[in-house]
């Protein structure tokens, strides 16, 4: 594993406000020292460990796995890898790319929190969805009246994630 993957791991970890120790606890077979060495490009982690890091930090698994594959094959000069590298450096590694509903040709960055909100929204019933949209749009709703129901639904859905 090289420095590119290491930089991505470190950026993802710091964006997730995690220490190396905290991340290591979420990665099977990895110590804080292993995470430190991986971030410096001195240690190779398995694909399973990279997937666990991605899940724990909220980045896409493909961003870490593709960077690792590129470094192993030595094709870091490809157009795809350089554009991914540039976008990783200019934006938060904590984000996930998602298609915009209005224009499928454009992409937008979605934070891990936004991703969880989308997942909770998809699990909610239609009434909770309407209430959540009203709140998010700032429409004249009595938040105190509906917050109990919506909050319970969202918390229940988030716990299931």
Average pLDDT, integer, range 1-21? 87
Question: Per mean pLDDT, which range of 64-68, 72-76, 135-139, 149-153 is the poorest?
Answer: 72-76
Examine the domain organization and report whether 12 and 86 are in the same domain: yes
**Which residue from 67, 57, 50, 53 is spatially nearest to 96, judged by alpha carbons?**
57
Q: What pLDDT, in 10s, does the model give residues 105-136?
A: 456 677 888 888 888 888 888 888 887 787 77
**Which residue from 37, 10, 32, 8 is spatially nearest to 21, judged by alpha carbons?**
32
- 56 located within any domain: yes
Model confidence at 103: pLDDT above 60: no
Model confidence at 76: pLDDT above 60: no
- 54 located within any domain: yes
Number of independent structural domains in the chain: 2
Examine the domain organization and report whether 11 and 67 are in the same domain: yes
Model confidence at 53: pLDDT above 80: yes
**Which residue from 66, 74, 72, 8 is spatially nearest to 40, judged by alpha carbons?**
8
Angle at 67 between CA 66 and CA 73, to 5 degrees: 85
**Which residue from 94, 128, 85 is spatially nearest to 112, judged by alpha carbons?**
94
Residue-level pLDDT at 126:
81
Examine the domain organization and report whether 123 and 79 are in the same domain: no
Model confidence at 85: pLDDT above 60: no
Examine the domain organization and report whether 13 and 80 are in the same domain: yes
Examine the domain organization and report whether 16 and 70 are in the same domain: yes
The residue segments making up the domain with residue 136 are 113-159
Average pLDDT, the chain: 73
Examine the domain organization and report whether 22 and 74 are in the same domain: yes
Model confidence at 97: pLDDT above 60: no
Model confidence at 86: pLDDT above 70: no
- 100 located within any domain: no
- 106 located within any domain: no
- 107 located within any domain: no
Model confidence at 72: pLDDT above 90: no
Examine the domain organization and report whether 79 and 118 are in the same domain: no
Angle at 87 between CA 81 and CA 90, to 5 degrees: 140
Count of alpha carbons within 13 angstroms of residue 64, beta-carbon side: 32
Examine the domain organization and report whether 11 and 87 are in the same domain: yes
pLDDT band for 52, please (50, 70, 90 cuts): very high
């Amino acid at each position: 594993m090289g420095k590119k993957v290491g930089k991505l791991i470190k950026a993802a970890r710091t964006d997730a406000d995690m220490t190396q120790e905290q991340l290591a606890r979420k990665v099977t077979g990895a110590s804080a020292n292993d995470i430190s060495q991986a971030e410096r490009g001195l240690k190779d982690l398995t694909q399973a460990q990279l997937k666990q890091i991605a899940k724990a930090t909220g980045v896409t698994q493909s961003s870490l796995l593709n960077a690792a594959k590129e470094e192993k094959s030595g094709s870091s000069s490809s157009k795809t890898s350089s554009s991914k590298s540039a976008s990783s450096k200019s934006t938060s590694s904590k984000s996930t790319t998602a298609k915009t509903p209005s224009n499928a040709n454009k992409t937008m960055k979605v934070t891990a929190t936004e991703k969880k909100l989308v997942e909770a929204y998809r699990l909610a019933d239609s009434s909770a969805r309407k209430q959540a949209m009203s709140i998010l749009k700032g429409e004249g709703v009595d938040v105190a009246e509906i917050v109990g129901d919506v909050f319970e639904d969202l918390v229940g859905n988030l716990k299931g994630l």
